[in-house]
Amino acid sequence: MAIKITITDGGVEVEKILLNARKTIDGNIIISDHPDMNILLIPSKNKIVSLPKAELDDELYDSQKRLFDYLFKKGVINYDTVQAGNLFMTKEATIPEVVGEGDKIQYCLYAISNFIDQELPFYENMKEFEKEMENQLLEPEIDEYTEFDPGRHSMSKGTLPPRMVKYGISSIYRL
């Protein structure tokens, strides 16, 4: 279920964000819009945790690093609190206390939404590239493949011609 948040300033609508997120029983928010990871927002502990999705790959660490770098630049987390989590391939960071007015959870959701919007074109381009590479392998251009000559290839199959004189220990075996 998507969460729709409207940010207002004195009754004037400032911005709307749309996230694919769920709220757990204990009040945590799980955001699952990112292709590589789920982002868990824990308001009771003032933490943001990135959890890997089903497929683990080399790009997960880079995605997590980009997430926490972005959140640090936007002032959402303390950079010295970014650390590995207690689960495999997770990272977490602490959200600082709010000084003045404002809701830190809404600001975190807004920053995470902007990060995801910034990341999605990269993953869409990667999917298009993979489809293009698959098409090149399955249907190559005319100048990228050789003709198959069944007359020549059917006479000798494999790497060694039959009845070839062999050297070494393999010469004791007969065909």
DSSP assignment of the chain equals -EEEEEEEETTEEEEEEEEEEEE-TTS-EEE--SSSEEEEEETTTTEEEEEE-SS--THHHHHHHHHHHHHHHTTSS-GGG-EE-SSTT-EEEEPPPP-SSS-HHHHHHHHHHHHHHHHHHHHHHHHHHHHHHHHHHHS--GGGS----HHHHHHS-SSS-TT----GGGGG---
pLDDT at residue 3, as a whole number: 63
Domain-located, residue 143: no
Domain-located, residue 159: no
Domain-located, residue 151: no
Rounded mean pLDDT of the chain?
82
pLDDT at residue 139, as a whole number: 83
> pLDDT (tens digit, 9 = 90+) per residue, 6-39?
666 666 666 788 888 999 999 999 999 998 899 9
Domain-located, residue 168: no
CA-nearest of 13, 7, 8, 26 to 113 is 7
pLDDT band at 142 (very low <50, low <70, confident <90, very high): confident
Domain-located, residue 93: yes
> pLDDT (tens digit, 9 = 90+) per residue, 53-93?
887 778 889 999 999 999 999 999 998 999 998 888 999 99
Average pLDDT over residues 107-112: 91
> For the chain, what is the domain count?
1
Domain-located, residue 165: no
pLDDT band at 163 (very low <50, low <70, confident <90, very high): low
pTM of the model: 0.70
Give Cα 123 to chain centroid, integer Å. Answer: 8
CA-nearest of 46, 74, 51, 54 to 64 is 51
Domain-located, residue 26: yes
pLDDT at residue 80, as a whole number: 92
pLDDT at residue 51, as a whole number: 93
pLDDT at residue 41, as a whole number: 95
CA dist 99 and 119 (Å) reads 29
pLDDT of residue 44 exceeding 80, the answer is: yes
Domain-located, residue 41: yes
Q: Which domain holds residue 134?
A: 2-138
